[in-house]
Amino acid sequence: MPKDRYLQAVRGAAIAAVVLIHCLPQCDASVVLRPLLNWAVAAFLFLSGLLTTEARIARGGVLGRRIRRTLPPYVVWSLAYALLLQGSSVLGALKALLTAGAAAQMYFIAVYLQLTLLTPLLYRLLKWRPLIAYAITPLSLAVYEALTVAGIALPILGRLFPMWLIFYVVGLDWERWHSRLQGKLGVASIALGMSLATQLILGFAWLRFGDYNMATTQLKLSSVATSLCVIAVIMLLPTSGKRRLSESFLADVGDASFGIYLCHMFVLVVVRKALAFFALPSVAGTALLWLVTLILSFAFCALVRKGAPRRVAELLGIS
């Protein structure tokens, strides 16, 4: 199936947002910026669901191919991050591999694999009990936020599928949502503005409460609402806007998004050390860190794709 250049451009924008998130310092300015970036992982999961059809699942082979494409790079990069960046022992590296804790971004791959395995069940759930499929994430996040307020920390929850399920389910169920939302770009845009404002206000409320993680996280109800509104706006854009984005460099970045996602934390460490030699203002330093990390990660993927043996590229997730 040929790739949709517009959807690849969406992936390109999403990976750029992910890299920027990991470049941001811990400060009030980041609390302001994060509502504009927190949709990225949600978009990746939505697109995965969107590009899944029940007919293809019924024919067989699709889920196996996705796992074979995703699991080996997850193992390779997790072990590399744990052993080379964290300095873990072999036992510690295996623990990081099993818990998706080798690097800040690896949780997404674990969640994606969980959702891939659950896809046939999710289709059945959408037919017979759709309310359950849609309620799992809001209820999980409500409990998570309540526990956090109570001072009970459960950080590993973000690596489990219930916290992210709704985005994948909306992708699987997009045909129905599209018929309901068609022609309502204005309404979706207003909802997006309201959800952004709400996320920003609650972000500073969490900051005042003393929890920077909850102030900025993608895993709170206001963040989920914003991400769903972003998805609606992305999918309801007029054809002219989609065409312009599909013709932009973002689509090329999107083609390399999986590889960039996997490698950019290594690149980030190197670039951050290199830029430490320069006395750059905070804003300029963060912007340069982001741009250089994104460009070098893209360049690394391009070099591997062109110069490495196919099997090596596949193992690195850059085929």
Whole-number Å distance between alpha carbons of 180 and 248: 29
Q: What is the pLDDT of residue 151?
A: 86
Handedness of CA 151, 107, 111, 33 (dihedral sign): positive
pTM given for the model: 0.95
Q: Mean per-residue pLDDT for 159-172? A: 96
pLDDT at 55 over 80: no
The label of the residue with tokens 């973000």 reads 158
Q: Kindly tell me the burial class for residue 121, based on how many C-beta atoms sit within 10 Å of its own C-beta (0-12, 13-18, 19 or more).
A: exposed
Give Rg (Cα) of the chain: 19
pLDDT at 66 over 80: yes
| Amino acid letter, residue 280 | L
Q: Mean per-residue pLDDT for 83-111? A: 94
Range of the domain at 161: 5-315
Whole-number Å distance between alpha carbons of 89 and 124: 43
Q: What is the pLDDT of residue 80?
A: 96
Whole-number Å distance between alpha carbons of 294 and 285: 14
Handedness of CA 106, 108, 109, 110 (dihedral sign): positive
pLDDT in tens, 171-192: 999 999 999 999 999 999 999 9
Question: How many folded domains does the chain comprise?
Answer: 1
Q: Mean per-residue pLDDT for 47-69? A: 84
Helix axes 40-50, 107-128, angle to 10 degrees: 50
CB 39 within 8 A of CB 188: no
Q: Mean per-residue pLDDT for 244-250? A: 94
Confidence of residue 14 (pLDDT cuts 50, 70, 90): very high
Q: Percent of the chain at pLDDT above 70?
A: 99
Lowest mean pLDDT among 82-86, 153-157, 159-163: 153-157
The label of the residue with tokens 């949600």 reads 42
Distance, C-alpha 167 to centroid of its chain: 10
Lowest mean pLDDT among 118-132, 152-166, 220-234, 257-271: 152-166
DSSP classification of residue 317: T
Q: What is the pLDDT of residue 65?
A: 87
Confidence of residue 1 (pLDDT cuts 50, 70, 90): very low
CB 102 within 8 A of CB 96: yes
**Element containing residue 232 per DSSP (H, E):** helix 221-236
